[in-house]
A and B are shown apart, each in its own frame.
Chain A
Amino acid sequence: MSATFMLSLSVNGEDITRAIDPRRNLVDFLREDLQLTGTHVGCEHGACGACTVRVNGEIIRGCLMLAAQAEGAKVETIEGVSDSGEIADLQKAFHERNALQCGFCTPGMLLTAADFLKSDPGTGRDRIRAYISGNYCRCTGYQAIVDAIEAVGRERGDPPS
């Protein structure tokens, strides 16, 4: 086994320094070293999107990135964006429309939805469907998720007075 790597980064606004195995991927680091279990592992080869987290403002697959690659980075997980209230409107819309069932895909889906709304606040259903088509949900059939994202896009574009 190779030597440990000293990793320093910011996770949900906290400065963290940990000695890690160099082969540790980011999602395992978050889940096992930091106990941030809201980020899930679905396929470990970048196909399902359950491990989606934000690194320096961009959403990435936590299973395809080594933790060591996040040296110096600003990482945000579902716990962070929940506590900050940043995606409270999306969470509310998902809740009201039952846009989740088992909830395993939900953290990744929410971060992807938040990214969509940031980059493309347009609310076309086809655009939403295309944007979340890298996030696998086995339960809902996606329609309620599309409904929820569409509704939030509309609210953000035209906030209630």
Chain B
Amino acid sequence: MSEKSPLTVLDRPNSYIGQSVPRSGARRLLQGRGTYVDDMTLPRMVHVAFCRSPFAHARIGAIDTEAARATAGVIRVVTGRELAEYCTPWIGILTHLRGLKSAPQHAIAVDRACWQGEAVAAVVAQTRSQAEDAAESIEIDYRELAVVADMETALEDGTPLIHPDLGDNLCFQREVDIGDVDKAFAEAHCVVEETFNFGRHTGVCLEARAILADYNPADKHLTVYLSAQAPHMMKNLYAKHFGLNEDNIRVICKDVGGSFGIKVHVYPDEMAAVALSIMLKRPVKFIADRLESFVTDIHARDHRVKARMAVNKDGKFTAIELDDLTGVGPYSVYPRTSGIEANQVVNLTGGTYTIENYRARARVVFTNKNVMCQYRAVGHPVACAVGEGLVDAAARALNMDPVEIRRRNLIPDDAYPYTYATGLVYEKLSHHQCLDKILAMMDYDGLRREQAEYRDKGVYRGIGVASMIELTNPSPAFYGVGGAFISSQEGCTIRLDHTGGITCAVGVTEQGQGSDAVIAQVAATAVGVPLENVRVISGDTDVVPYGGGTWASRAAGIGGEAALRAGKALRENILEIAGVILQADAAALDIRDGAVVDAVNGAERMPLSEIGRIVYFRGDTLPNDVQPELVVTRHYVPKAFPFAFTNGFEAFHVEVDIDTGFVTLLKCWVVDDCGTIINPMLVDEQIRGGVVQGIGGALYEECLYDERGQYLNATMADYLVPMAGEMPDIEVGHVETPTQDSELGAKGVGEAGTTGAPAAIMNAINDALQPIGGHITDMPFTPERILKALGKV
């Protein structure tokens, strides 16, 4: 497109930006013709099953593998010590999280198991069932050690040290003290104080973790088929821990059956599968079963936050002080660490308001439970519920409407750029616009009137709102500066095929969100071709530009901008050659609907397939000094801000049965501002899916451990997840404030729904219970806990 054009790339004549186009990649999934890792079979492929520690903490004595080795189909039985010859241990630290420490972790435990479920031995056999049969016959002489099960006492004198070499059970601590907190509390009109508990829960991807490692000793080449979100990160780590040349490693992520942050970490059993492939010189498959998923997929949340807020008589918030404690299991997870969630709680709490005095302490402690790390909306639901819970407490204390008190404290829409007390920099947010919109969508005043009528009839309905921010499009400030090889930049290689079709290769990955689809929409728009002529390749490190993958709501904003830049550059190149062929000024031409046209009147000059024919097959007809370049690559890394924050509001209408403690979700509303919306349908579905995961944490999901560190509900029948019958319809609205850091202007949207749901549900339940004196801040809000809050059990 010529620079003289009045059109921006977003409103080109055949723009797909803002169109709810169905995902083309969904068709194969609808016919059961996707390729998840477990669908793949390679020649000479064998299967691994693990023998896992039944104890939360135990010394590993003699391991008797004789019976296992004699079992039908068994190829090899290995212990941690043998496997350590092939895979070096890792330590999950980042240098920018100062003081964060952890201990070396092995693919298979050596000498000591530190949580129930940690792999202690592995069996490779012709089939998975043979491997499992043999694993059951391994006899291990365990000596139980004292268990640190309670995070509250993990730092006390007398509590055993999980890693004596570290000196204590403290993984990470962060303290901030901004402004004059003591003065603000001393001068406050009122102080509200709450203790919030957030249950430990997990991702429950329907496709469990899966890996197929294929080491070819002839050329020392490793191919790994992985159900994962960050293939380049894994490629680097395989090189590092298996002593391989990184250039000889290929990681391929085909269809991924859900991830949500679960599949972006190093898992010991997956590393063991790679080691076994190297050891046995043949493909090794490991598919976690559901029990293994529950006991080894990372867990999240499990925070106890004591918090208080100072408020003046007009309802202005003047200070927040909080103390966060979280128990993350025996190791900080590699390579992203287990310190990020608590760090986010410190950064984000109260972050939608003009609070100037802020003090926080977060302590991350080791325990003998499964490891914890980053899961969808990392820290956000905790920070949001703490802040919004305090806000509702303040409204109650001042007898003020919860919406009105928010209006008085939200950062004004004209105050940007704005720096929050904790140092977060917001480019431009739209809290007040979002609030106005959601109130209109939900008919807030009407709901309040209806609520009063129902209360008169003995029906307890509640309305809860929550303002929220979401960290998206992270710059290198997130991980790169801490020394991890986790890329923040993205590239897109785009080519014109001789057919006139476009092929894009991108570093961001697809796990069902629709990242391939939005890349296609952006590329189609930028080049000027019909969407059906665009193909997107992702998830293969041999094929795509170096990239970070998909996490922290970065695919559309960062990958999309790379695709936009690549598409524009390809259009320039195509028009240059079209100008030569047509003997026209390239600036007077454009590409629309797959054809070169006159920019002024849109008259077709030649289809792109004709350019392809000439360039690829009849280059002899072009002038000697013309060399067409129909493949281009462009990159993008966010630089202007550490993160592109999005904002929004979430609201729930609930009914609480005060006799049974059951909560019925009547309706949910969300208004989100994620900047430029590339595909409204996909954005809305990201929000809805995110909300429902947030509902899970608020009402149902909790990994329950006993005092010996035994996981009590590690089955899908016992660990409750949201099912269709209990879910409400979710109405979604938008405000669009594009980021100026990119031409596309898109921010992320994958985690907003999850962020606000627990806060809004908590506030709605407490609103319902207020007339009868009930109050609850321990998630999940089970019927039992609600009845306890009402003094009924």
| A residues with CB within 8 A of B | 1, 21, 23, 31, 35-48, 50, 77-79, 82, 91, 94-98, 100-107, 110, 125, 128-130, 132-146
Contact = CB atoms under 8 A, between A and B. Distances in A.
A144 B685 contact: yes
A102 to B, nearest CB: 3
Contacts of B206: 40, 42, 48, 50, 102, 104-105, 136-138
Interface string B270-296: 000000000000000000011000000
Contact of A140 (B33, B38, B688): B688
A151 to B, nearest CB: 14
Given A78-B31, A138-B205, A143-B727, A47 B717 contact: yes
A142 B512 CA distance: 14
Contacts of A139: 258, 512, 689
B692 interface: yes
Contacts of B26: 94-95, 98, 100, 103
Interface stretch (B298-306, B429-437, B718-726): B718-726
B676 interface: no
A100 B22 CA distance: 11
B729 interface: yes
A95 B290 contact: no
| A-B pairs with lowest CB-CB distance, top 9 | A38-B32, A103-B29, A102-B512, A104-B257, A101-B512, A78-B32, A141-B692, A133-B725, A37-B39
Nearest to B41: A35
A129 B23 CA distance: 24
A140 B685 CA distance: 6
A133 B258 contact: no
Contacts of B34: 38, 103
9 contacts: A37-B35, A39-B32, A95-B27, A100-B30, A138-B258, A140-B692, A141-B753, A142-B692, A143-B729
Given A138-B206, A141-B727, A143-B688, A100 B29 contact: yes
Interface of B: 22-23, 26-27, 29-36, 38-39, 41, 72, 129, 203-208, 255-260, 289-290, 511-514, 681-682, 685, 688-693, 715-717, 721-727, 729-730, 753
Contacts of A134: 723
A95 B30 contact: yes
Contacts of A82: 30-33
A31 B721 CA distance: 26
Q: Name which of B22, B256, B726 has the most chain A CB atoms within 10 A of its CB.
A: B22
Q: Name which of A36, A45, A139, A144 has the most chain B CB atoms within 10 A of its CB.
A: A139
B32 A37 contact: yes
Contacts of A145: 724
A98 B514 contact: yes
Q: Name which of A31, A42, A98, A145 has the most chain B CB atoms within 10 A of its CB.
A: A98
Contacts of A98: 22-23, 26, 514, 681-682, 685
A102 B716 contact: no
Contacts of B512: 100-103, 139
A120 to B, nearest CB: 15
Nearest to A28: B129
B258 A45 contact: no
B727 A142 contact: yes
Nearest to B29: A103
Contacts of B29: 100, 102-103, 106
Contacts of A130: 724-725
Nearest to B715: A45
Contacts of B203: 138
Contact of A141 (B208, B258, B689): B689
Contacts of A77: 32
Nearest to A91: B30
Contacts of A133: 723-726
Nearest to A87: B30
Nearest to A38: B32
A79 B22 contact: no
Contacts of B715: 43, 45, 47
Contacts of A31: 38-39
A138 B691 CA distance: 11
Contacts of A97: 681
Contacts of B256: 102
Contacts of A37: 32, 35-36, 38-39
Given A37-B38, A79-B33, A130-B724, 18 more contacts: A35-B41, A37-B39, A38-B31, A44-B289, A95-B27, A96-B22, A98-B26, A98-B682, A100-B30, A101-B512, A102-B29, A129-B727, A133-B723, A136-B206, A137-B206, A138-B203, A140-B688, A141-B690
Contacts of A135: 724
Q: Name which of B41, B259, B723 has the most chain A CB atoms within 10 A of its CB.
A: B723
B514 A102 contact: no
Nearest to A35: B41
A82 B129 CA distance: 30
A48 to B, nearest CB: 6
Contacts of A107: 32
A37 B287 CA distance: 14
B724 A142 contact: yes
B723 A136 contact: yes
A32 to B, nearest CB: 8
A18 B31 CA distance: 25
Contact of B207 (A42, A96, A125): A42
A44 B31 contact: no
A135 B723 CA distance: 7
Contacts of A41: 38
Nearest to B725: A133
Contacts of A140: 685, 688-689, 692
A56 B38 CA distance: 27
Contacts of B41: 35
Given A129-B724, A141-B688, A106 B30 contact: yes
Contacts of B31: 38, 78-79, 82, 91
Given A95-B22, A140-B688, A43 B716 contact: yes
Contacts of B685: 98, 101, 140-141, 144
A110 B139 CA distance: 44
B296 to A, nearest CB: 15
A136 B721 contact: yes
Nearest to B691: A141
Contacts of A132: 724
A144 B514 CA distance: 15
A133 B692 CA distance: 14
Nearest to B33: A38
Contacts of B257: 40, 102-104
A45 B716 CA distance: 8
Nearest to A46: B717
A1 B255 CA distance: 35
A138 B693 contact: yes
Contact of B36 (A45, A104, A146): A104
A102 B258 contact: yes
A102 B255 contact: yes
B514 A146 contact: no
B538 to A, nearest CB: 14
A104 B207 contact: yes
A82 B204 CA distance: 28
A139 B72 CA distance: 40
A101 B721 contact: no
A42 B721 CA distance: 13
A106 B643 CA distance: 34
Contacts of A146: 724
A77 B26 CA distance: 18
B717 A45 contact: yes
Given A42-B290, A102-B511, A141 B730 contact: yes
B725 A138 contact: no
Contacts of A100: 26, 29-30, 512
A23 B607 CA distance: 60
